[in-house]
Amino acid sequence: MGRMIVYAAVPDDTREVRAAEALDVAALAEYLRDNLATQAGAADIVGLDLAAPMDVSQFPGGHSNLTYLLRFGRAELVLRRPPLGPVPPTAHDMAREYAWLAAVQPMFPLAPQPYLLCVETSIIGSVFYVMERRRGIVAREDEPHGLAGEPRVRERASGAIVDALAELHAIDVTTGAIAGLGRPGGFVGRQVRGWTERWERSKTADVPEMDAIATWLAARVPAGPDRPSIVHGDYKLDNVMLDASDPGRLVAVLDWEMSALGDPLVDLGILLAYWTAGAGGALATVTDRPGWFSREQILERYERRSGRTVTNIRFYEAFARFKIAVVIQQIYYRYVKGQTDDARFAGLAARVVALARQAIGLVRD
């Protein structure tokens, strides 16, 4: 009998595909009909009817990789592909993300199951993969029903988010498929150098604060952790999915593009940067509302659940804000160069400056 994951019904969160990001539907449908049924796990996809017409819509959120919903009969699948136009070296690597999901999912069920990787760029113009769809609710610029006006539910959701991160970081990374997916030694140093190089390649104007924080980080790279872990790389509120019928419970952790083996406090820094970044308008957040954990509550819960110390967390939070600023700058660079016409990207340069100033403020406190 096929595996069935049941979640409460939620409103459809997809939209018609943006014209500039349309797929070759005929070629994609033919490829999936020829290849999907033979993949591990495909037999468990409830309602899959590859003989049925394929319907395609698009998830409108996000500013980086493009994500689509594919329907065959009653089955729903998610397709992920890189953004259009040139991308930074080593970024948006769909084959890498697929390999990480395949290795992580059996040990961390909140990760969606990947079904099929396509490296033939002739099908839709890029490498892509297809994975399981999870249904639930996501808090982005505002709170969905079930969270809004519910301090106790927000508190439970906060705890569940921190607990899931601690559980991810507790996975043994010394054996099995995971062990071959990264080099934990020197991880943070490589991250600082790599994101500094990306900043230099994507600059459209001088931002002295970005150069200053990059120099500060490079001079203070911490020693590696005693227990390296899986690092999600982009662990934040809108990359977790909550149960629509019980928003205090997680049903998925999404977006594994930046996964690595290394220092788990990198994830904690990212979570804090997005969680508390309302000052200056650099990042949207809803976590200043009653019930959501404070920064101090996140740190206390993580320490208690993970058994790790967080005494140097300001470094990791400063690095997180620097990294987020670079990601935003890379998106803005694509907009300036005409590689995307998405109007959401026009004002991103101001966010880069605001994040850099926040990072400087952190390290000066």
Q: Mind spelling out the 3-state secondary structure of 180-213?
A: CCCCCCCHHHHHHHHHHHHHHHHCCCCCHHHHHH
Q: What is the pLDDT of residue 364?
A: 82
Pick from 53, 101, 65: nearest CA to 256: 101
In tens, the pLDDT along 97-116 reads 999 999 999 999 999 999 99
DSSP-based three-state secondary structure for 23: coil
* Confidence check: pLDDT of 8 > 50: no
Return the H-helix or E-strand segment holding 99: helix 94-104
The end-to-end CA distance of the chain, in Å, is: 58
Residue 283 pLDDT level (bands cut at 50, 70, 90) = low
pTM of the complete model: 0.89
For 191-241, the pLDDT digits (tens) are 999 999 999 999 988 999 999 999 999 999 999 899 999 999 999 999 999
pLDDT of residue 284 exceeding 80, the answer is no
Q: What is the pLDDT of residues 37-51, one digit of tens each?
A: 888 888 889 899 999
| Tens of pLDDT, residues 61-89 | 655 789 999 999 999 999 999 987 656 55
* Nearest residue to 81 (alpha-carbon basis) of 119, 134, 38: 119
Q: How confident is the model at residue 125 (pLDDT cuts 50, 70, 90)?
A: very high
Domains of the chain: 19-132 (3.30.200.20), 151-364 (3.90.1200.10)
> pLDDT digit string (tens) for 294-328?
999 999 999 999 999 999 999 999 999 999 999 99
- One-letter amino acid of 266: V
**Beta bridge pairs of residue 340:** none
Query: pLDDT band at residue 278, thresholds of 50, 70 and 90?
Result: very low
CB 7 within 8 A of CB 243: yes
